[in-house]
Amino acid sequence: MPTYPVLNKNTGEKKELSMSMSNYDQWRKDNPDWDKDWNAGIGGHMYGKPKADDGFKEVMSKVQAAHPRSNLSRFT
């Protein structure tokens, strides 16, 4: 079940709601003083750097060979 961080526009009170998206839409219509807490961040964090696959590395090394003055070393 998704969670939604919300903020009361009048009082500054913060809550975290756990409900379906359709229920959240209805809750927002019923509670106009509350809005999404945009400072709470987003879900789906990524840890570390994504790895390029070998096909991409091969293409980038060909580009590097064709353009020796370009700095594409971070991709190869």
The domain of 15 spans: 3-39+50-75
Residues 6 or more apart from 76 whose CB is under 8 A from it?
57, 60, 61, 64
Is residue 27, in this structure, part of any structural domain at all? yes
- 30, two tokens: 């019923």
Q: Mind listing the pLDDT tens digit of every residue in the chain (76 residues)?
A: 888 999 999 999 999 999 999 999 999 999 999 999 988 876 655 667 777 788 888 888 888 889 888 887 666 5
Confidence at residue 54, expressed as pLDDT on a 0 to 100 scale: 86
pTM over 0.85: no
Instruction: Please state the domain count of the chain.
Output: 1
Is residue 44, in this structure, part of any structural domain at all? no
Angle among Cα 25, 27, 33 to the nearest 5 degrees reads: 110
CATH number at residue 8: 3.40.5
Nearest to 52 by CA among 20, 75, 28, 23: 75
Is residue 45, in this structure, part of any structural domain at all? no
Confidence at residue 40, expressed as pLDDT on a 0 to 100 scale: 82
Give the C-alpha separation, 57 to 17, whole Å: 44
Is residue 54, in this structure, part of any structural domain at all? yes
